[in-house]
Protein backbone atom coordinates (compact mmCIF):
# COMPACT_ATOMS: atom_id res chain seq x y z
CA UNK A 1 0.00 0.00 0.00
CA UNK A 2 1.48 3.29 -1.06
CA UNK A 3 -0.74 5.88 0.55
CA UNK A 4 -0.73 7.31 4.03
CA UNK A 5 -3.70 5.75 5.78
CA UNK A 6 -4.25 8.80 7.99
CA UNK A 7 -5.65 10.85 5.06
CA UNK A 8 -9.11 10.38 3.70
CA UNK A 9 -8.91 9.03 0.18
CA UNK A 10 -11.53 9.63 -2.50
CA UNK A 11 -13.61 6.78 -3.84
CA UNK A 12 -12.22 5.92 -7.26
CA UNK A 13 -14.51 4.11 -9.74
CA UNK A 14 -13.16 0.94 -11.38
CA UNK A 15 -11.41 1.64 -14.67
CA UNK A 16 -10.58 5.23 -13.63
CA UNK A 17 -7.07 6.32 -12.67
CA UNK A 18 -6.78 8.60 -9.66
CA UNK A 19 -3.76 10.89 -9.98
CA UNK A 20 -2.57 12.19 -6.62
CA UNK A 21 -0.69 15.39 -7.19
CA UNK A 22 0.47 18.60 -5.51
CA UNK A 23 -2.01 21.05 -6.98
CA UNK A 24 -2.34 23.33 -9.98
CA UNK A 25 0.20 26.05 -10.76
CA UNK A 26 -0.56 29.60 -11.89
CA UNK A 27 0.86 29.29 -15.42
CA UNK A 28 0.87 25.51 -15.93
CA UNK A 29 -1.58 22.89 -14.62
CA UNK A 30 0.89 21.63 -12.02
CA UNK A 31 3.49 23.13 -9.70
CA UNK A 32 5.71 20.15 -10.47
CA UNK A 33 6.92 18.63 -13.76
CA UNK A 34 6.20 15.03 -12.74
CA UNK A 35 2.41 15.19 -12.27
CA UNK A 36 2.16 17.20 -15.49
CA UNK A 37 4.07 14.41 -17.24
CA UNK A 38 1.69 11.75 -15.92
CA UNK A 39 -1.46 13.76 -16.61
CA UNK A 40 -0.27 14.41 -20.18
CA UNK A 41 0.25 10.67 -20.60
CA UNK A 42 -3.31 9.96 -19.39
CA UNK A 43 -4.66 12.47 -21.88
CA UNK A 44 -2.44 11.24 -24.72
CA UNK A 45 -3.92 7.74 -24.32
CA UNK A 46 -7.45 8.92 -23.47
CA UNK A 47 -7.41 7.02 -20.18
CA UNK A 48 -10.31 8.05 -17.89
CA UNK A 49 -8.84 9.73 -14.80
CA UNK A 50 -9.49 12.05 -11.93
CA UNK A 51 -7.17 14.24 -9.87
CA UNK A 52 -6.77 14.37 -6.14
CA UNK A 53 -5.22 17.73 -5.29
CA UNK A 54 -5.06 17.18 -1.54
CA UNK A 55 -1.27 16.99 -1.74
CA UNK A 56 -1.24 13.50 -0.21
CA UNK A 57 2.23 12.01 -0.72
CA UNK A 58 2.93 8.35 -1.49
CA UNK A 59 4.52 6.20 1.20
CA UNK A 60 7.75 6.83 -0.71
CA UNK A 61 7.28 10.45 0.43
CA UNK A 62 7.02 11.76 -3.13
CA UNK A 63 4.39 13.03 -5.52
CA UNK A 64 2.85 12.09 -7.93
CA UNK A 65 1.38 8.64 -7.46
CA UNK A 66 -1.64 6.89 -8.90
CA UNK A 67 -4.31 4.42 -8.00
CA UNK A 68 -5.99 2.15 -10.53
CA UNK A 69 -8.54 -0.57 -9.71
CA UNK A 70 -7.43 -0.57 -6.09
CA UNK A 71 -3.71 -0.82 -6.85
CA UNK A 72 -1.34 2.07 -6.02
CA UNK A 73 1.85 2.95 -7.87
CA UNK A 74 4.26 5.71 -6.81
CA UNK A 75 6.53 7.50 -9.32
CA UNK A 76 5.46 9.02 -12.63
CA UNK A 77 7.46 6.62 -14.78
CA UNK A 78 6.53 3.48 -12.87
CA UNK A 79 2.90 4.63 -13.00
CA UNK A 80 3.02 5.03 -16.78
CA UNK A 81 4.68 1.65 -17.23
CA UNK A 82 2.09 0.01 -14.96
CA UNK A 83 -0.76 1.43 -17.04
CA UNK A 84 0.92 0.37 -20.28
CA UNK A 85 0.97 -3.22 -18.97
CA UNK A 86 -2.51 -3.18 -17.45
CA UNK A 87 -4.23 -1.59 -20.43
CA UNK A 88 -2.08 -3.24 -23.11
CA UNK A 89 -1.24 0.18 -24.56
CA UNK A 90 0.77 0.48 -27.72
CA UNK A 91 2.97 3.42 -26.77
CA UNK A 92 6.50 3.33 -28.16
CA UNK A 93 6.22 0.49 -30.61
CA UNK A 94 6.91 2.84 -33.51
CA UNK A 95 10.43 3.42 -32.12
CA UNK A 96 13.49 1.37 -33.12
CA UNK A 97 15.71 -0.07 -30.37
CA UNK A 98 18.18 2.73 -30.95
CA UNK A 99 15.47 5.39 -30.70
CA UNK A 100 14.16 3.78 -27.51
CA UNK A 101 17.66 4.05 -26.03
CA UNK A 102 18.00 7.69 -27.08
CA UNK A 103 14.55 8.53 -25.67
CA UNK A 104 15.51 6.97 -22.36
CA UNK A 105 18.76 8.95 -22.23
CA UNK A 106 16.91 12.22 -22.87
CA UNK A 107 14.33 11.41 -20.21
CA UNK A 108 17.08 10.85 -17.67
CA UNK A 109 18.86 14.02 -18.78
CA UNK A 110 15.68 16.00 -18.13
CA UNK A 111 14.51 14.30 -14.93
CA UNK A 112 17.78 13.48 -13.22
CA UNK A 113 19.97 16.39 -14.28
CA UNK A 114 18.18 19.40 -15.75
CA UNK A 115 15.51 19.08 -13.03
CA UNK A 116 18.08 19.66 -10.29
CA UNK A 117 19.41 22.79 -11.98
CA UNK A 118 15.80 24.03 -11.97
CA UNK A 119 15.45 23.29 -8.26
CA UNK A 120 18.70 25.17 -7.65
CA UNK A 121 17.49 28.12 -9.72
CA UNK A 122 14.15 28.38 -7.88
CA UNK A 123 15.10 27.51 -4.30
CA UNK A 124 18.69 28.78 -4.03
CA UNK A 125 19.49 31.29 -6.74
CA UNK A 126 16.22 33.21 -6.66
CA UNK A 127 13.86 32.08 -3.87
CA UNK A 128 11.89 35.30 -4.29
CA UNK A 129 10.58 33.78 -7.55
CA UNK A 130 8.59 31.36 -5.35
CA UNK A 131 6.71 34.30 -3.76
CA UNK A 132 5.67 35.42 -7.23
CA UNK A 133 4.84 31.87 -8.38
CA UNK A 134 2.71 31.05 -5.37
CA UNK A 135 1.06 34.43 -4.81
CA UNK A 136 -2.35 33.35 -6.16
CA UNK A 137 -1.95 29.66 -5.30
CA UNK A 138 -1.29 29.39 -1.55
CA UNK A 139 -2.09 31.57 1.47
CA UNK A 140 0.93 33.51 2.89
CA UNK A 141 1.68 30.99 5.65
CA UNK A 142 1.81 28.11 3.21
CA UNK A 143 4.13 30.12 0.94
CA UNK A 144 6.44 30.71 3.91
CA UNK A 145 6.45 26.97 4.69
CA UNK A 146 7.01 26.02 1.07
CA UNK A 147 9.89 28.43 0.65
CA UNK A 148 11.65 27.76 3.92
CA UNK A 149 10.87 24.22 5.04
CA UNK A 150 10.66 22.58 1.62
CA UNK A 151 13.54 24.83 0.55
CA UNK A 152 15.65 23.38 3.39
CA UNK A 153 15.00 19.81 2.19
CA UNK A 154 15.57 20.71 -1.46
CA UNK A 155 18.97 22.19 -0.56
CA UNK A 156 19.86 18.95 1.24
CA UNK A 157 18.82 16.98 -1.84
CA UNK A 158 20.88 19.24 -4.10
CA UNK A 159 23.91 18.54 -1.93
CA UNK A 160 23.19 14.78 -1.87
CA UNK A 161 22.63 14.60 -5.61
CA UNK A 162 25.91 16.48 -6.00
CA UNK A 163 24.89 19.37 -8.20
CA UNK A 164 24.56 21.65 -5.17
CA UNK A 165 28.31 21.37 -4.59
CA UNK A 166 29.14 23.14 -7.87
CA UNK A 167 29.54 26.89 -8.32
CA UNK A 168 26.61 28.94 -9.57
CA UNK A 169 28.38 29.35 -12.91
CA UNK A 170 28.96 25.60 -13.30
CA UNK A 171 25.32 24.80 -12.47
CA UNK A 172 24.09 27.30 -15.02
CA UNK A 173 26.46 25.89 -17.68
CA UNK A 174 25.04 22.40 -17.02
CA UNK A 175 21.46 23.70 -17.40
CA UNK A 176 22.30 25.60 -20.56
CA UNK A 177 24.04 22.58 -22.13
CA UNK A 178 21.13 20.26 -21.24
CA UNK A 179 18.59 22.64 -22.78
CA UNK A 180 20.77 23.08 -25.86
CA UNK A 181 21.09 19.29 -26.27
CA UNK A 182 17.29 18.91 -26.13
CA UNK A 183 16.83 21.70 -28.65
CA UNK A 184 19.50 20.33 -31.03
CA UNK A 185 18.02 16.83 -31.01
CA UNK A 186 14.45 18.07 -31.42
CA UNK A 187 15.42 20.27 -34.39
CA UNK A 188 12.43 20.74 -36.68
CA UNK A 189 10.66 17.53 -35.61
CA UNK A 190 7.07 17.70 -34.36
CA UNK A 191 7.77 15.45 -31.37
CA UNK A 192 11.08 14.44 -29.82
CA UNK A 193 11.36 11.13 -31.66
CA UNK A 194 9.61 12.09 -34.90
CA UNK A 195 6.13 12.80 -36.22
CA UNK A 196 4.35 10.65 -33.59
CA UNK A 197 4.34 11.34 -29.84
CA UNK A 198 6.02 8.86 -27.51
CA UNK A 199 6.45 8.47 -23.76
CA UNK A 200 9.49 10.74 -23.64
CA UNK A 201 7.33 13.64 -24.86
CA UNK A 202 5.28 13.42 -21.66
CA UNK A 203 8.43 13.73 -19.61
CA UNK A 204 9.97 16.53 -21.66
CA UNK A 205 6.72 18.45 -21.89
CA UNK A 206 6.29 18.25 -18.11
CA UNK A 207 9.80 19.54 -17.51
CA UNK A 208 9.97 22.14 -20.28
CA UNK A 209 6.54 23.57 -19.41
CA UNK A 210 8.06 24.65 -16.11
CA UNK A 211 10.96 26.32 -17.93
CA UNK A 212 8.86 27.93 -20.66
CA UNK A 213 5.90 29.14 -18.60
CA UNK A 214 6.38 28.75 -14.90
CA UNK A 215 9.98 29.68 -14.02
CA UNK A 216 9.35 33.36 -14.62
CA UNK A 217 12.43 35.55 -14.33
CA UNK A 218 14.84 32.58 -14.31
CA UNK A 219 17.89 32.15 -16.51
CA UNK A 220 16.28 28.96 -17.87
CA UNK A 221 13.18 30.81 -19.00
CA UNK A 222 15.13 33.65 -20.55
CA UNK A 223 17.51 31.30 -22.37
CA UNK A 224 14.83 29.16 -24.07
CA UNK A 225 12.78 32.19 -25.09
CA UNK A 226 15.84 34.05 -26.44
CA UNK A 227 17.94 31.21 -27.89
CA UNK A 228 15.92 28.02 -28.28
CA UNK A 229 12.57 28.94 -29.84
CA UNK A 230 12.01 25.37 -31.09
CA UNK A 231 11.62 24.23 -27.46
CA UNK A 232 8.99 26.91 -26.84
CA UNK A 233 7.14 25.94 -30.05
CA UNK A 234 7.36 22.26 -29.06
CA UNK A 235 5.69 23.00 -25.71
CA UNK A 236 3.00 25.04 -27.46
CA UNK A 237 2.36 22.15 -29.89
CA UNK A 238 2.04 19.53 -27.16
CA UNK A 239 -0.13 21.86 -25.07
CA UNK A 240 -2.45 22.61 -27.99
CA UNK A 241 -2.79 18.92 -28.85
CA UNK A 242 -3.39 17.47 -25.39
CA UNK A 243 -4.42 20.44 -23.24
CA UNK A 244 -7.14 22.43 -25.07
CA UNK A 245 -8.38 23.40 -21.58
CA UNK A 246 -4.91 24.51 -20.39
CA UNK A 247 -5.94 27.99 -19.22
CA UNK A 248 -8.80 26.61 -17.13
CA UNK A 249 -6.55 24.04 -15.54
CA UNK A 250 -4.12 26.69 -14.27
CA UNK A 251 -4.83 28.07 -10.83
CA UNK A 252 -5.24 31.66 -11.95
CA UNK A 253 -8.20 33.90 -11.52
CA UNK A 254 -10.24 31.82 -13.99
CA UNK A 255 -9.49 28.60 -12.16
CA UNK A 256 -12.29 26.06 -12.03
CA UNK A 257 -11.80 23.46 -9.32
CA UNK A 258 -11.39 20.03 -10.94
CA UNK A 259 -10.68 18.04 -7.79
CA UNK A 260 -12.16 14.53 -8.26
CA UNK A 261 -13.82 15.36 -11.60
CA UNK A 262 -13.50 12.55 -14.11
CA UNK A 263 -11.77 13.24 -17.45
CA UNK A 264 -12.49 13.24 -20.28
CA UNK A 265 -15.44 15.34 -19.08
Ligand X SMILES: N[C@@H](CCC(=O)N[C@@H](CS)C(=O)NCC(=O)O)C(=O)O
Taking the least distance from each CB to ligand X, the nearer of 30 and 183 is 30
Residues 6+ apart with CB under 8 A from 116: 157, 158, 161, 163, 164
Please give the Cα distance from 174 to 47 (Å, whole number). Answer: 36
Instruction: Give the shortest CB-34-to-ligand X separation in angstroms.
Output: 4
Please give the Cα distance from 144 to 134 (Å, whole number). Answer: 10
Please give the Cα distance from 45 to 29 (Å, whole number). Answer: 18
Residues 6+ apart with CB under 8 A from 200: 103, 104, 106, 107, 192, 193
Task: Kindly list the distances between the CA atom of residue 220 and the CA atoms of 21, 41, 154, 173, 233, in Å, as whole numbers in the listed order.
Answer: 24, 24, 18, 11, 16
Instruction: Give the shortest CB-58-to-ligand X separation in angstroms.
Output: 8
Instruction: Give the shortest CB-47-to-ligand X separation in angstroms.
Output: 17
Instruction: Return residues touching ligand X (CB under 6 A).
Output: 32, 34, 61-64, 75-77, 153
Taking the least distance from each CB to ligand X, the nearer of 46 and 62 is 62
Instruction: Give the shortest CB-111-to-ligand X separation in angstroms.
Output: 6
Instruction: Give the shortest CB-250-to-ligand X separation in angstroms.
Output: 17
Taking the least distance from each CB to ligand X, the nearer of 119 and 250 is 119
Taking the least distance from each CB to ligand X, the nearer of 143 and 240 is 143
Please give the Cα distance from 193 to 257 (Å, whole number). Answer: 34
**Reduced DSSP (H G I as helix, E B as strand, rest coil) percent helix, strand, coil of the chain, to 5:** 55, 10, 35
Taking the least distance from each CB to ligand X, the nearer of 32 and 117 is 32
Angle between helices 199-209 and 97-109 (to 10 degrees): 20
Half-sphere exposure of 112 (CA within 13 A, CB side): 7
Taking the least distance from each CB to ligand X, the nearer of 2 and 180 is 2
| 123 exposure class (CB count in 10 Å sphere: 0-12, 13-18, 19+) | buried
Instruction: Give the shortest CB-106-to-ligand X separation in angstroms.
Output: 15
Instruction: Give the shortest CB-172-to-ligand X separation in angstroms.
Output: 20
Taking the least distance from each CB to ligand X, the nearer of 34 and 49 is 34
Amino acid sequence: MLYKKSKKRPSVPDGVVCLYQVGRGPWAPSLSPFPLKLETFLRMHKIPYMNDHSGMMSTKGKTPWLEYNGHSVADSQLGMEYLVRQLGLNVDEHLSQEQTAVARAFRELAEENLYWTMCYESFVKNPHSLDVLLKDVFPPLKIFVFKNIIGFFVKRQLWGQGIGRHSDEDIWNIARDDLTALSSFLGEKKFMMGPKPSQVDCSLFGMLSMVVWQMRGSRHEQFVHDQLPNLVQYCERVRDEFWPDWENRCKGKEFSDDNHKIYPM
